[in-house]
Amino acid sequence: MPVLTRYLIKEIIKGTTIAMMILLTLINLFTLSDELQKLGEGTYTLAKIFQYVALTTPRVLYELMPSAALLGSIFVVGAMANNREIIAMRSIGLSSSWIIRSILLAGFIMVMFAVFVGEFVAPETEKAAQLLRTYATKNEMVLKTQYGMWLREGNQFINVRKIVNNESLQDIRFYEIDENHQLKMLRHADTAHLIQSGQWRLQNVSSSFLGARQVDSKVLDEQVWDSAINSDLLEVTVIEPDNLAIIDLYHYIDFLQDNNQQSQKYELAFWGRIVNPFIVFVMLMVSSPFVIGIGRGSSTGARIMIGIMIGSTFNIFDKLFSQLGMVYSLNPLLVAVTPSLIVFAGAILAMRIQRI
């Protein structure tokens, strides 16, 4: 790899790292401020709040990578333009296309890092963060999985496959063990509706009692169930896309579709996770016209403001388009790629106008 290519890649990665640290600090301060409002709830101490913020950091880092890449490249390559380094590179025969290729090569390294964090680190730490806060603030032993919520109450293990809302559950399974840890009862209910706090009405209930020599069965239209599950607990037991890697999202979407449940939210998250790493390349392409062309001679503050405006506008447009896709049931793949394609086309147009 030529010396100048290594130099450019190193400087862009260095600038992106600095931008990432600044952005992470700001976001974590906002998160810390929000979590401090829950200080003292249950066993949610200051130490656990800091632990929660630390555990959510990988997810935030993954989401901020495109914005950090944009700010880093605008700052670093723009500074090179101001210091006449870009002119010096051109004077020895290096074209603008070579500069852009080197920028994109740095982007490739950043994408590999983002994919590693987003797929192998962030889902696990995000899940651990949510469980930490749930256990501390609610004092409930509850576990979220991609196949529903699991809760232990005494000798019973309860699996809720579908949470319709805070007062309605579907496909509830009960497993009761005896003092020797042997399974002694199985029960299934189609639905459960909240009667009052700590009490539910089960409907279409089928029970099987396992004895030493025989199995007895019983079917009831309705049955009252006394349980610690409440509406507050259900709010924190919904499976979120941030807690799942791409392969887990794929399997969970299959699970939802097989059970005739709404999966659009997770399909949109699935395609968004695939597209998100490539947004780094889009942001780097967007930065090229500003640092090679019109950005020449501009101040550091002006370049940073350009980066913030572009990144903020893209994020707002991306989230707005995602919400419109959810409301109007648009194709998830189309919703995921459209904002990036529009911005990419704008970057190409800007480079052609400036003849870069």
Q: Is pLDDT above 60 for 293? A: no
DSSP string computed for 248-274:
HHHHHHHHHHHTT---HHHHHHHHHHH
Beta strand 148-153 pairing with 183-196: unpaired
| Residue range 241-260, pLDDT digits in tens | 777 788 888 887 887 787 67
pTM: 0.74
| Residue range 299-341, pLDDT digits in tens | 666 766 776 787 778 888 888 888 888 888 888 889 889 988 8
Instruction: Quote the CA–CA distance of 284 and 312 in Å, as a whole number.
Output: 15
Give the distance from CA 353 to its chain's centroid. Answer: 36
| Residue range 47-95, pLDDT digits in tens | 999 999 999 999 999 989 998 998 888 888 777 877 777 778 878 877 7
Give the distance from CA 26 to its chain's centroid. Answer: 18
For residue 24, the model assigns a pLDDT of 95
